[in-house]
Structure 1
Amino acid sequence: MVVQASRSRRAVPLLIGLLVALAVAAPLGIRALSAADPVLSGVDEGATVTTDAVRALGVSAPEGHDLDEVQVLLDGKPAQTRRDGDRLLLADPVLPDGEHSVSARVPARMMPDREATLTFTVDGTAPELAVEPVAVSDPRKPFTLKGKAIGATALTADDQPVPLADDGAFSVQFPKAPARVQLSARDDAGNSAKQEYAVPVRHPGMKAVHMTAMAWTSDALREPVLRMAREGRINTIQLDIKDESGEVGYQSQVPLAREIGATRGHYDAKAVVDQLHREGIRVVGRLVAFRDPILAKASWAAGKTDRVIQTADGKPWSGGYGDFAFTNFANPEVVAYNTDLATEAADIGFDDVLYDYIRRPEGALAQMKIPGLQGTPEQSITAFLAKSRDAVRDRGAFLGASVFGIAASRPGPVAQDIPMMAQHVDYLAPMVYPSHWGPGEYGVAQPESQPYDITARSVAEFVAKSKDSGTQVIPWLQAFSLRKSYGPAEVQAQIQASKDNGASSFLLWNASCRYESAGLPPAP
């Protein structure tokens, strides 16, 4: 008994020491010796992120525990999750803007739960881009684009970084006005906003006359036109780049033009443009696009028949224009050829490139073969204009398109959809010659004898059809005689009718390039 008592007394200190050790280990040693806490990954602590970025937030189980044991809380409430390999992801992490928390917990017996918490802020509001619209009247002059990227911390214009003020204001300078600018703004959360900004332009207007390349070589034809310009009767001369025969009036350096023998030396394009500019005269280059016998014939001979519009049985389409008349507006090589001529002219210094024959030939579409056509002819022609305008405008020139007078009301026969085309040119030039209308058109009994009436009504429809695009209407007016003699009274009637209906600019057409009878007044 004594021995037993002695042993009991010796055991008490040992028991007390063990209890003390356990008491200390409970908050410290056991937690340290057991498995680690759950792991939250994919989003940094305290980060500001988009709601989409929360989809990357994952929960991993502590070592020694199964993923099924992990409880996930979103803002303190049980969250719906889905398994992705060895992680749990939030099942539908569409969260409102503001601060949020995700906790992962593993319940434990006889010891504290294992838990980890992550806090973050959701910002799902994209920056707002606002550009100050400033119409450009001279695309070759320096251009400054101003605006605000509200809520953004970074901005690029055409992939180049742009400094931002504290309020998001920005200003970007260009050596000349581009056709369009690609803006991209981001904030710290990763939200982004993109905008393709089409730089608005406003053609300065013109009073112009048509001149062929051959006419320019004739003193008898050229000098009267120059005199009209010097007297202020006109302010613009339209000079052919490529005409209906397919001839390029100067020694173009476009490879295909030289390969097919289309270039001529009728005038020195750079010298003429520079001369006219020195005298304060604008120069419009008329470029006949798809009526091109030289390209069509050369392409057919070379076996590149897809460049040519054909009959249903595979022969070159004539349609009264000759054996080889119309090239294929749906062919990439034809498109590139005309675009290359247009951009070359803009580089030379032509103020405008004005397409003509920017259409399909007349005739039943079912009887034509148009290799490679995707969609409708109207869509293909409009796509060509869109591509051309960007290329021409990037070189500082305006782009116009000559269109049939009937196209405003009947686009199908020539594939000229006026509202669609107006979106991709700086101006439309409808050919509203009174002599080309039949009796009764627009309710006018005898259009050729009523130049004011027919011009007023046809121009008004073009203005109405293109008004939503912001593009201008600059009509071709008749300065020649056909069945009825046309002199100053008839020409002036057309000019006044156009002006009265929203088209104050004009181009005069006379195939012989003689304008003495136009009756244009000198400048005051």
Structure 2
Amino acid sequence: MKWISWLIVVAVLCWSGPASAEVEHVFGTVADAVSGEPLADVRIWADDDSQLSAADGGFSLATMATHLIVRKPGYLPQKVPVSFPLHLTLQPITPKALYLSYWAAASQDLRNHLLQLLADTGMNALVIDLKSSRGDIAFRTDMPLTVEVGAQRSRTLKDLPDLLAELKERGIYTIARIVVFKDNRLAKGRPELAVRTEAGSVWEDREKMSWCDPFREEVWDYNIALAEEAARLGFDEIQFDYIRFPAKSDLLFSRENTGDNRVAAINGFLARAQQRLAAYPVMTSANIFGYICWKPKDQKIGQRLADLAEYVDYLSPMLYPSGFPHGIPGYRNPVANSYAVIADSLRKAALLTGLAPQRFRPWLQAFRDYAFDHRSFTAAEINAQINASNAGGSHGWMLWNAASRYTQAGLQQVIPYGELNLVDASPKAGDSTVLSRSESKPQALPTM
């Protein structure tokens, strides 16, 4: 029987030895690729360890991984092979983006026009619809549920890998927009996942679109799986939109509709997405209501600003002046005060969260006003918003036009403050005050 004991010892050594030998202490430094300065708080991620770089850019991990994911807000993410030592550099990026809508993507002429605008104006980023608010998915995916609910009936990005390759060649930062809980296809194809009326029927909003219940983890996993596909395709960033509850109180969900429950659901979705996307060289962002920048509570939609920042790299408030129909404190008419709306909202958001300005990248208005005087947003209005975003130090900006129709006016160069000729008399560079405030009494912010 002695030989059996020896076999057991040899087997244990053979089983335990290689695993121990594979664990390596990986160390190195990370610096800014342009300035050469060391970078602190860079996330160095392996599937069995994760560390933040120190003030001198140094880091060390004990890992069996063959590759590391390296990311920091304000920089392009990387996937790097393990070597000894690792001296990494990260390329800074400040996205200045146009939006390519789901249906606009089907037009080669319109896509070419946007690419030419990016080239002519020095802009460097494109937000691309991968999943629309109808729940349609723009590219081919093997996810069975998308077929079951008919989400791939109208694919508008049949050449997505080729498009991404072209954008990479042009140096364009690519952002995949995924609409999450407003999903007519999934809600009607799987009604047990839908938001319901008090009478028990599947609810529809004013656009006759149905929504999915944000408490349902099946809905979380469906959207996160799609985000993972986008990450594998090579997008630089995943942007989640409609990560909220409908702004209506008399609806039924699978859990009690309380403030704490709503916030926990939205945070839970983003936390799971963060965990699942950690293995990819991709950044994350969340689109949020503009008024959320002004309120510490969730406004009955589950978005609490200070919480959201923990789970994404960037917060993208939709700061369209037309989107503040009740005004903001000090301004009754936001479309006549475009600079102030952006500047004050970003300042308020930073105060509520304690975050650096670089953690915000706002959506700006590039469409006709619908709430006040119905003015067209031309070069003056667009540049007022861009100037405010730049002056506030935000991580770039994105222009929204639902039809993806833009002109070169207002994009090619920033109009100096003194030449804007706006009602709000936007402040000059370096002036930390907001000039020519409305003389009217500040208005209370609405509930949403």
1:309 aligns with 2:192: no
Matched, 1:284 2:196: no
CA distance in 2, matches of 1:296, 1:320: 16
Alignment correspondent of 2:274: 389
Two-structure CA RMSD over aligned residues (Å): 3.2
Q: Determine whether 1:368 maps to 2:251.
A: yes
Q: Which amino acid aligns with 1:261?
A: G
Please tell me whether the aligned partners of residues 178 and 394 of structure 1 are also in contact (alpha carbons under 8 angstroms): no
3-state SS, counterpart of residue 134 of structure 2: coil
Whole-angstrom CA distance in 2 between matches of 1:236 and 1:522? 16
Aligned to 1:458: 345
1:195-236 per-residue CA deviation (whole Å, 9 max, x = no partner) reads xxxxxx998320001111321222332122101222352101
Q: Which has the larger radius of gyration?
A: 1
Q: Is the 8 A contact 2:121 2:411 kept in 1?
A: no
Indicate which of 79, 103, 110 corresponds to 1:214. 103
Conservation of the 8 A alpha-carbon contact between 1:404 and 1:431: yes
Counterpart code for 2:350: V
Q: Would you say the 8 A contact 2:316–2:362 is kept in 1?
A: yes
When residues 278 and 172 of structure 1 are mapped into structure 2, their CA distance, relative to the original with a 3 A threshold, is farther
Distance 2:238 2:42 in 1: 28
Q: Is the 8 A contact 1:487 1:517 kept in 2?
A: no
- The one of 500, 516, 521 equivalent to 2:391 is 500
How far did residue 396 of structure 1 move? 1.2
Whether the 8 Å CA contact 1:285–1:352 is kept in 2: the answer is yes
Partner of 2:12: none
Partner of 2:290: 405
- Which residue is equivalent to 2:367? 480
Q: Is the 8 A contact 2:357 2:393 kept in 1?
A: no
Q: Is there any run of 5+ residues in structure 1 with no aligned partner, and where?
A: 1-130, 138-142, 148-155, 161-168, 181-200
Partner of 1:266: 156
**In 2, distance between residues paired with 1:215 and 1:207?**
19
Q: Given that residues 148 and 189 in structure 2 are in contact (C-alpha distance below 8 angstroms), is that contact kept between their aligned partners in structure 1?
A: no
Q: Check 1:176–1:278 CA distance in 2 against 1; reply closer, same or farther (3 A cut).
A: farther
Q: Give the one of 214, 219, 227 matched to 1:334.
A: 219
Q: CA deviation at 1:407?
A: 1.2
Aligned to 2:431: none
2:60 pairs with 1:177:
no
Q: How many angstroms apart in 1 are the aligned matches of 2:361 and 2:31? A: 18
Q: One-letter code of the match for 2:198?
A: A
Residues 309-318 or 413-422, more deviating: 309-318
Aligned residue identity for 2:146: A
1:441 aligns with 2:347: no
CA drift of 1:488 comes to 0.9
Superposition pairs of residues 112-131 of structure 1, within 5 angstroms: none
**Alignment partner of 2:113: what SS?**
helix
Name whichever structure is richer in strand by fraction.
1
In structure 2, the partner of 1:248 is 137
Residue in structure 1 matched with residue 54 of structure 2 by the alignment: none
Q: How many equivalent residue pairs?
A: 344
What residue is the counterpart of 1:347 in the other structure? 232
CA shift, 1:333, in A, is 1.0
Deviations 1:458-485 (A, max 9, x none): 1211233333488710000001112111
State how far apart, in whole Å, the 1-side matches of 2:333 and 2:103 are: 34
Instruction: Return the letter of the residue paired with 1:242.
Output: K
Tell me which amino acid in the other structure corresponds to 1:252: T
State the TM-score, normalizing by the size of structure 2. Answer: 0.70
Deviations 1:354-384 (A, max 9, x none): 01101000112xx222114695111110111
Letter paired with 1:291? K
State percent identity of aligned pairs: 29
1:230 alignment counterpart = 119
Structure 2 gap ranges (5+): 1-26, 34-38, 51-58, 73-89, 415-448
- Tell me which amino acid in the other structure corresponds to 1:223: N
